[in-house]
Amino acid sequence: MRLSAFSSLQPGALTAQYYDLDEHDHPEGASTLFGFWLYLMSDCLIFAMLFAAYGVLGGNYAAGPGPKDLFELPLVALNTAMLLFSSITYGFAMIAMQRGRTAGVQGWLVVTALFGAAFLAIELHEFSNLIADGATPQRSAFLSAFFTLVGTHGLHVTFGLIWLGTLLVQLAKHGLTDAMRRRLFCLSMFWHFLDVVWVGVFTFVYLMGTLR
């Protein structure tokens, strides 16, 4: 009796009864945001390894200069302020985006770019002074780890500025489209991530280094 009941079903009807074969709608841009979160997690691993390397090698001076001899905390504090201010101004750009003010977004992004460029200029000035004093990456394991960690962060800031400039051009051309809002949000996460990493660099490398 049961066999005859199943045999009367159309091919695929039993499968369709227990499985949903229809495609589901996915929010537009969901894959972009998910992919960017994966990228940020991979970046976290990169910086975690660089911090770990510095923690292991940061005390090996090879009879050369150490953090107390090299670091200028007032200059580093000014550099930190530049990046913190850039994070604040990017937050203002996001507020303007939520209110639909394209001109406001562009203005705050320009201010953010100026603070970011100032951060890079101060960092390059610091590197040039260290190299002029003979504190090159090959001088000691401490300096190798320092230049690698701080330089990698600076490279990320450089890419962030290029990305920011690209968004400014796209904003002028297309305005605040949905795709542009997602791109601004992704850059916001990236920029604030770099801010958090730099706070760790400032604390772990510069402050703790001068207290050793």
| Both tokens assigned to 167 | 């968004």
pTM of the model: 0.84
Does 112 score more than 60 pLDDT? Answer: yes
Residue 57: strand, helix, or coil = helix
**Which residues, in sequence order, are CB contacts of 2 under 8 Å at separation 6+?**
none
Question: For position 191, what pLDDT does the model report?
Answer: 97
- List the one residue out of 35, 30, 29 whose CA is nearest residue 180: 29
CB 115 within 8 A of CB 86: yes
DSSP assignment letter at 197: H
How far apart (Å, rounded) are the C-alpha atoms in residues 201 and 212?
Answer: 15
Q: Which fold has domain 72-212?
A: Four Helix Bundle (Hemerythrin (Met), subunit A) (1.20.120)
- Assign 3-class secondary structure to 85-122: HHHHHHHHHHHHHHCCCHHHHHHHHHHHHHHHHHHHHH
Element counts in the chain: helices (H) and strands (E): 9, 0
CB burial of residue 170 (10 Å; 0-12, 13-18, 19+): middle
Longest dimension (CA), the chain: 94
The pLDDT of residue 34 is 87
The arithmetic mean of pLDDT across residues 143-154, rounded, is 97
Q: What is the mean pLDDT of residues 74-96?
A: 97
Mean pLDDT across the stretch 183-204? 96
Q: Which residue ranges make up each domain of the chain?
A: 72-212
